[in-house]
Each structure stands twice: as structure tokens, then as C-alpha cells.
Amino acid sequence: MKLILKFALLPVFFFFYAHSVVAKDFNIAFFASSSENGYNQATWEGVKKAASEAGNVNTEIYNGEFNATLQYAQIEDIIASKKFDGFVVVPNDTVGIAGVIEQAIAADIKVATSLFPIGPDLTTLEPQVKGITATAAGSPVYGATLQANEVVKYCKDKDPCNTIIMIGQKIYPFDKLRYDTFLDILGKESNIKVVATVEGNYSPDVSLTGMTDALQSAKDVHVVLSNADQHLLGAEIALADEGYNVADLYLMGGGAAEIAIEAIQAGQWDATFIGVPFSEGYLAAKAVIAALNGEKVDPVIDITKPEVVGIDPIITKEVLDANPNWKPEWGG
């Protein structure tokens, strides 16, 4: 009788023991700079993948609508709600957002930033806000420097080498830094003439209109240098409408979107700077989850390094041919 009773109690014992070691559920908020933006959508997929692998993490997305004031208010509201244990942020204003990130860290929320570092210095990935968990990003200056140097190489034997620069919006600190870097490097070459600047706002339609307007005065264009692949989608339509054979020009984008990879392989575009939004979201969320579990986390995740992304940061047809198994992480 005692033996039967002993085994009858075992399932109850195991239930309570198993229940006691189940990991705590965590909630992570993803603050997109704009949830309609394709790059942000891919970053969100990376965040969800990390959460799914963890098994005890719930995630929710918030749309910043490319509005820094709105995003700041969203984060303040979520801190006050005490609903979330961790944040992954794609910042709209890398400088202005620092104050609310400090509030989040003071509330014991683990915060990782993606795409850009948070703070006044966009040239470093080292934490500028005390207590930030991780930065999964690359320096805008580093990328813009590599891009501009490629244009210098292409223009070496052309005089003049008429160049149009396309940038997201100069009002954004990161785009202003990229733009200034482009101007600084190209301006040192006497043969390179920047004949127009177009603000494409990461939109093919806006880029088409802007390029169409620019081509009314900018003639005999040889190069289009852009920080975003989306810009080139609109630009090439405007160029073709103006009578250019786009394949004869040098077109450099940024983001390594699927559309860019296809255009480079087809010989229509020449290059794009690396972008790995899925990996950014995935690695940022992994860092937050690790920190929530009490693990030590490397605060710097440089997503421009070949050992991280698996390919050279300046992607050309030659680079693609040498890395046939590499795939872009977003459509564009």
C-alpha cells in the first residue's frame, strides 16, 4: 500500500518541479523607424526569429512613421506601461532619442539599437548611452567612405566625371553625415563634378520626381551615387526617360536589397553597399534576450564586417560571382 502511494505522488511532484524551472516569459518591443519601410520589415522578421528561437519571448512592433517626435513619445508611453522587459530600436533621431533611452535603462529595460548607434557620434559603435545593451549597426561614415572611394576609382580616367548624389534626407543626422562624407571625398578630386543632389526619402517615387527635376539642368551624367537602393529604382527610370542607356553609367546604391543584387547581376547597376536588416534585428534581439537571462553581452555588433555578414561590404558582380551562396536579406 505504501509503495502504491509513493508512486501515485510522483506525477504531482514532477509537475511542481517542472513548473518551478520554467523560464520566465519576456516581452520585447520593436520600435521601427517606419513599419512600412522594407528594411524595417526585414529587421522585424529578425527580431521575431530570435524571439521564436528563445521560446519564452513575446514581441510587438511600433510604427515610428519616420517621425522622431512620435517615436520618442511611443517609447515614453511603453516605459510607463511597464509591459516590456526589452527594446530593439531603429532610431529616427539618433541624437534626440538618447534621453528616452536613458529613461528606459533607468527602468531596468534592456535596450539594443539597430542600423545606427544612438548618441551624438555616429562614427563609433561603442555605447554612448550608459547601460545600452548592444548596437547592431555600422558607421554611416565608414559606408559612405567606401562608396565614395569606389566612385573615385571609376572616375579616374574621366574628366569631367559628372556625378549626381542621391541621399535620403539631409535633415537626418546619419544622412547629413553620409552626404558630407561624399562631398568631402569627391571634392578632393578635380575631375569629379557634383552636378546635382537629390533627396529621395527612401522612396522610388520621390526619387523619380527628384531625378527628373535634376536632369533638367544636370547634363552628360556619368555617375549616380546613392545611399539607398530604393533611390536608384526611381533614378534609372528618369535617366532612361531622358535618353540615357543606364547600363553605360556608374550606379552605386546602398542596402544590398534583392532588387539591387538582381540589377548588378544583370549589368544594369554597378554596386551596392552592404545592408543586412534581418541579421541586425536578429542579433540585436539575441543580445537583449541574453542580457535578460543574465548573460554577458558584447555591446558592439558591427554588421559591416565580412565575418559577420559573409560578404565584402561593397557588393559588385565580381563579389557576387565569388560568393554564389550569399543571399540578400530584403526585397527593397
* Per-residue model confidence as pLDDT tens digits over 118-132: 999 998 999 999 999
41, part of any domain: yes
20 within a domain of the structure (yes/no): no
Q: Which of 91, 187, 197 is nearest to 135 (CA)?
A: 91
In a domain, 327, yes or no: no
Residue 18 lies in a domain: no
Give the side-chain half-sphere CA count within 13 A for 121: 7
CB atoms closer than 10 angstroms to residue 166: 29
Which residues are bridge partners to 252 per DSSP? 225, 271
Let me know if residue 265 belongs to a domain.
yes
Quick one: 123 and 269 in the same domain? no
- Same domain for 180 and 235: yes
Residue at 16 is within a domain: no
Shared domain for 191 and 287, answered yes or no, is no
Given a cut of 50, is residue 11 above it in pLDDT?
Answer: no
236/264 same-domain check: yes
pLDDT at residue 87, rounded to an integer: 98
Return the CATH number at 37.
Answer: 3.40.50.2300
Which of 144-148, 214-218, 305-309 bottoms out in mean pLDDT, i.e. has the lowest?
305-309
List the grid coordinates of 54: 528563445
By CB neighbour count within 10 A (0-12 exposed, 13-18 middle, 19+ buried), where does 217 fall?
exposed
Judge if 183 and 263 occupy the same domain. Answer: yes
66: phi > 0 → left, psi -120 to 50 → alpha, else beta; which?
left
Same domain assignment for residues 235 and 172:
yes
Does residue 220 fall inside a structural domain?
yes
Please give the model's pTM, rounded to 2 decimal places. Answer: 0.86
Q: Clarify whether residues 237 and 173 are in a common domain.
A: yes
Task: Indicate if 62 and 156 belong to the same structural domain.
Answer: no
Q: What mean pLDDT, rounded, does the chain reach? A: 92
Instruction: Say yes or no: 161 and 219 in one domain.
Output: yes
Domain limits at 61? 25-132+276-309
Q: What is the pLDDT of residue 23?
A: 58
In terms of domains, do 152 and 110 share one?
no
What's the rounded mean pLDDT across residues 221-225? 98
Residue 115 lies in a domain: yes
How far apart CA 204 and CA 220 sit, in angstroms, is 22
- Residue 269 is predicted with a pLDDT of 98
Q: Please tell me the total count of domains within the chain.
A: 2
Residues 246 and 150 in one domain: yes
pLDDT (mean) for 225-251: 97
**24 pLDDT tier (thresholds 50, 70, 90):** confident
Dump pLDDT digits (tens) for 288-317.
Answer: 999 999 999 999 999 998 888 889 999 999
Same domain, 228 and 257: yes
When pLDDT is averaged across residues 216-245 and rounded to a whole number, the result is: 97
Neighbours of 63 (CB within 10 A): 17
Secondary structure of the chain as H, E, C letters: CHHHHHHHHHHHHHHHHHHHHCCCCEEEEEEECCCCCHHHHHHHHHHHHHHHHHCCEEEEEEECCCCHHHHHHHHHHHHHHCCCCEEEECCCCCCCCHHHHHHHHHCCCEEEEEECCCCCCCCCCCCCCCCCCEEEECCHHHHHHHHHHHHHHHHCCCCCEEEEEEECCCCCHHHHHHHHHHHHHHHCCCCEEEEEEEECCCCHHHHHHHHHHHCCCCCCCCEEEECCHHHHHHHHHHHHHCCCCHHHCEEEEECCCHHHHHHHHCCCCCEEECCCHHHHHHHHHHHHHHHHCCCCCCCEEECCCHHHHCCCCEECHHHHHHCCCCCCCCCC
